[in-house]
Amino acid sequence: MSRLERPRRLRTTSSMRALVREVSLDPSSLMLPLFVREGLDHPRPIVGLPGVVQHSLSSLESAVDEARSVGVGSVMLFGVPETRDAEGSEAWNPDGILSRAIAVARRRVGDDLVVAADLCLDEFTSHGHCGVLDEHGVVDNDRTLDSYARMSIVLADAGAHLLGTSGMMDGQVRAVREALDAAGRVDVAIIAYTAKFASSFYGPFRAAVESPLTGDRATYQQDFANVRESMREARLDVGEGADIIMVKPGLAYLDVLSAISAAVDVPTASYIVSGETAMVEAAAATGALDRDRAILEMVTAVRRAGATVVCTYWAVEVARRLARSGT
């Protein structure tokens, strides 16, 4: 029987498969989230996220050294303060934990990797919301922008190369861009959490930052039923000066990532979030799946869907594995 088309021909050997592989992984595209907790002497494990810790300032040094040594492209720093207030004022304290963490990381790595920092208030507010509240307890968008603007200068002065506007406030990219430019920090880049969904998959992260949040973020993060709305967010963020556009979470939102990646002319990023990480770890712990293969598959899948940058808690081990396999 004649079959002109036999796709299996290109799957016969490992080298044949490698020859026609469309997407490859490179450690320099990986971004590693790191948590730094004020007042710690030693790193502290995070419940629900095996292998991920809250760092002390000194264990942060080894973590960024390790990331650099395996060629990871970037670290994304999250600060966990000792004290919180309604305004989140530790966020723009130049001696606060996030600023100090940025300075420590920059001192270690210089420009060898990209030092990024989360620009949001949720780690710093006593109520756990990503902004300040009005008299009805609703997040006040425009007053929050003033805090983001103020925070952006402090984080830039501490040495951040890249700021992650993750609060989902309207106009946040523009507010931060204008503040940075007015302060002469035109080179500090913005990675906008453009399509950040009100997701259940952030569970372990909330433990990692000791979030006091009750309720949800549905009045500012996106409804997970919508993709058209993500396109609007992408149009706005690019127009406001975003340098990189992020979609988050990763795996459940590949359609959104794919649509945005096709529509914009800036690099896109995907964040494989804490709950997605925890699911794989939990399934692997029972023997239900092959952990290492599942991780490579997930990271490759978000690249295939269009992400240039992949933010993942597995960044160091993926980078290490890539080095070993010689790809």
Q: Token pair of 221, please?
A: 């993060």
To ligand PBG, the closest distance from the beta carbon of 22 in angstroms equals 27
- Indicate the burial class of 170 (C-beta count within 10 angstroms; 0-12, 13-18, 19 or more): middle
CA 121 to chain centre: 15
To ligand PBG, the closest distance from the beta carbon of 215 in angstroms equals 11
Secondary structure string (H, E, C) spanning 306-322? CCCEEEECCHHHHHHHH
Instruction: Return the number of the residue (71 or 201) whose C-beta is nearest ligand PBG.
Output: 201
Q: Which residue is nearest to ligand PBG (CB)?
A: 205
**Site of interaction with ligand PBG (CB under 6 A):** 118, 120, 122, 166, 202, 205, 217, 273-274
To ligand PBG, the closest distance from the beta carbon of 18 in angstroms equals 32
- Angle in degrees, CA 183, 189, 192, rounded to 5: 115
> 102 vs 161, 254, 268, 299, CA distance in Å?
9, 31, 23, 26
To ligand PBG, the closest distance from the beta carbon of 167 in angstroms equals 7
Helix, strand, coil content of the chain in percent (nearest 5): 45, 20, 40
Q: Token pair of 220, please?
A: 């500012």
Q: Which residue has the tokens 């993942």?
A: 312
3-state secondary structure of 247: strand
To ligand PBG, the closest distance from the beta carbon of 49 in angstroms equals 8
Q: Which residues are catalytic?
A: 196, 248
Instruction: Return the number of the residue (122 or 237) whose C-beta is nearest ligand PBG.
Output: 122
Contacts of 33 (CB under 8 A, 6+ apart): 75, 76, 78, 271, 311, 312, 313
Instruction: Return the number of the residue (16 or 47) whose C-beta is nearest ligand PBG.
Output: 47
Closest CA to 158 of 96, 247, 82: 96
The answer to whether 76 and 32 are in contact (CB under 8 A) is yes
Instruction: Return the number of the residue (230 or 274) whose C-beta is nearest ligand PBG.
Output: 274
Instruction: Return the number of the residue (108 or 217) whose C-beta is nearest ligand PBG.
Output: 217
Q: Which amino acid does the sequence have at 218?
A: A
To ligand PBG, the closest distance from the beta carbon of 3 in angstroms equals 46
Instruction: Return the number of the residue (120 or 175) whose C-beta is nearest ligand PBG.
Output: 120
Do the strands 30-37 and 53-55 form a parallel or antiparallel pair, or are they unpaired? parallel
